[in-house]
Amino acid sequence: MRPVPSPDQEQARGADRLMGRGLKLTHLRLIAAIDETRQLTAAGRSLRLTQPAASRLLAEAEAIAGHPLCERQPKGIALTPAGEALARRARRVLAEISEAGREIGDVAEGRLGTVRVGAVTAPAIDLVVPILQRLQRDHPGLTAQVDVTTSDVLVPDLLRSRHDFVIGRVPASVDPRPLCIRWLGVEPVAFIVRANHPLAQRSQVGIEDLASYDWVMQPPGSLLRRTVEEAFLARGAEPPNCRLSTASLIVTLTRLTRSNSIAPVSTQVARLLAGDGGIGRAVTPLAVSFPLEVKPFGLIRLRGLTLPRSAALLYDAILEAAVRADEAKREP
């Protein structure tokens, strides 16, 4: 009876199948670039390869894998199932090598390191900024890069290893299998206007009161915009008349303070701008008659990837704070 190989033996056999046939990092970099660009020429250009050189490298990778990795389409090329499997793991391998370089550099210079985190607006304000400030008091060698944008930008950037982790939601277009997700909470929505807007002093504002005004909203398809539009439709109203689409809070505020436009933002943003101790009182939230929430957001990281020390410190602190907040809500 043939013995059943152990998981370690299977893993070694899989590595031998590719590494033993000559698979190199350049092959992995090309497959990852093809997955991102969907163009062989563009993928080669990102690696400083000519188109013929990129074609030869792809042919080598396919010969090593023993399967076609790409197929031509009218507009570029697409990865085959074998190509997608290799690309998914190529990103992980390249991310680990990149992290090793970062950590070696940090150790050599005596730093704790830089954490790279992306977040949608509400948790950036309520979690990332205050927790990071506290950690940096306790760890002077900790530095950070924080990007605040929509989830449809954050999660693909995470898959390209541009963030250590993100706080947001997984877009419908993204395969969630390479991701590890810990749900944190929902994002309440507020509608803000300039302080002397005609609706600003109303004790209650209904959907019918909002219909005659122009709106500033996130780009079409973004989750906040879809949530607002669906809320209007569910109440028998036409979606808001969006005259300006932008993901920029600065552009949004500039338009609001110079017009009667309305903008949906997270409640945390509204509180930061207009609440007690707010950074500016040029805008104010409306007292709308219908509560609105965007679906839950969470901590998202690459599955199986070990976070560097700096990122693990912030990740664990955010998770701990979210758990404490959830427990406080459950207390009678």
Per residue in 34-74, pLDDT (tens digit) is 988 889 999 999 999 999 999 999 999 999 988 899 998 88
pLDDT for residue 12:
46
What pLDDT score was predicted for residue 8? 47
Listed in sequence order, the residues at least 6 apart from 264 whose beta carbon sits closer than 8 Å to its beta carbon are: 189, 190, 191, 192, 215, 217, 224, 225, 228, 292
Domains 7-93 and 109-185+296-330 share a fold: no
> Among residues of the chain, what percentage have pLDDT more than 70?
89
DSSP secondary structure code for residue 262 in this structure: B
Interaxial angle between packed helices 309-330 and 81-108, expressed in degrees from 0 to 180 and rounded to the nearest 10: 100
Cα(39)–Cα(77) distance, integer angstroms: 6
pLDDT confidence of residue 332: 59
Parse the chain into domains and list their residue ranges.
7-93, 109-185+296-330, 186-294
Give the residue-averaged pLDDT of 198-221: 91
Q: Is 160 helix (H, G, I), strand (E, B) or coil?
A: coil
118-140 average pLDDT score: 92
Q: Rounded to 10 degrees, what is the CA torsion of 140, 142, 145, 149?
A: -100
Say yes or no to pLDDT of 2 above 80: no
Query: Locate tokens 């607002």: which residue?
Result: 228
Point out the least confidently predicted range of 6-20, 131-145, 147-161, 241-255: 6-20
Which residue in 219, 270, 273, 225 sits closest to 245, CA to CA? 219
Q: What is the pLDDT of residues 147-179, one digit of tens each?
A: 998 898 999 999 888 899 999 999 888 888 889
pLDDT of res. 259: 94
Which residues on adjacent β-strands are paired with residue 251? Answer: none
pLDDT greater at residue 17 or residue 36: 36
| Percent of the chain clearing pLDDT 90 (strictly above) | 48
Decide if pLDDT at 283 tops 60: yes
Query: In the predicted model, what is the mean pLDDT of residues 241-256?
Result: 92
pLDDT greater than 70 at residue 276: no
- In CATH, the number for domain 109-185+296-330 is 3.40.190.10
Angle formed by the axes of helices 129-138 and 309-330, nearest 10°: 120
H or E segment at 213?
A: none
The secondary structure of 89-110 as a DSSP string is HHHHHHHHHHHHHHHHHHHHTT
**Between 142 and 7, where is the model more confident?**
142
How far apart CA 77 and CA 129 sit, in angstroms, is 41
Please determine, looking at this structure, whether the domain spanning 186-294 carries the CATH number 3.40.190.290. yes
> Does the pLDDT value for residue 310 go beyond 50?
yes
Confidence bin at 90 (pLDDT 50/70/90): confident
- Compare 187 and 134 and report the one with higher pLDDT: 134
Q: How far apart are CA 209 and CA 215, in angstroms?
A: 13
Q: Is 113 left (phi over 0), alpha (psi -120 to 50) or beta?
A: left
Strands (E), the chain: 70-73, 76-79, 113-119, 142-148, 165-168, 179-194, 214-217, 241-245, 263-266, 283-285, 293-302
The model carries a pTM of 0.68
| Mean pLDDT, rounded, of the chain | 86
Instruction: Kindly calculate the radius of gyration of the chain based on its CA atoms and give it in whole angstroms.
Output: 24
Instruction: Pick the range with the lowest mean pLDDT from 11-15, 180-184, 283-287.
Output: 11-15
264 pLDDT exceeds 50? Answer: yes
Q: Taking 70 as the threshold, does the pLDDT of residue 13 lie above it? A: no
pLDDT of residue 114: 86
CA dist., res. 37 & res. 43, Å (int) = 6
Other beta carbons within 10 Å of 147: 15
**Domain 7-93 belongs in CATH node 3.40.50.150:** no
Which one is predicted more confidently, 15 or 312? 312
pLDDT at 11: 47
Answer left, alpha or beta for residue 86, where phi above 0 means left and psi between -120 and 50 means alpha: alpha
- Which of 22, 26, 60 has its CA nearest to residue 43? 26
DSSP type of residue 22: T
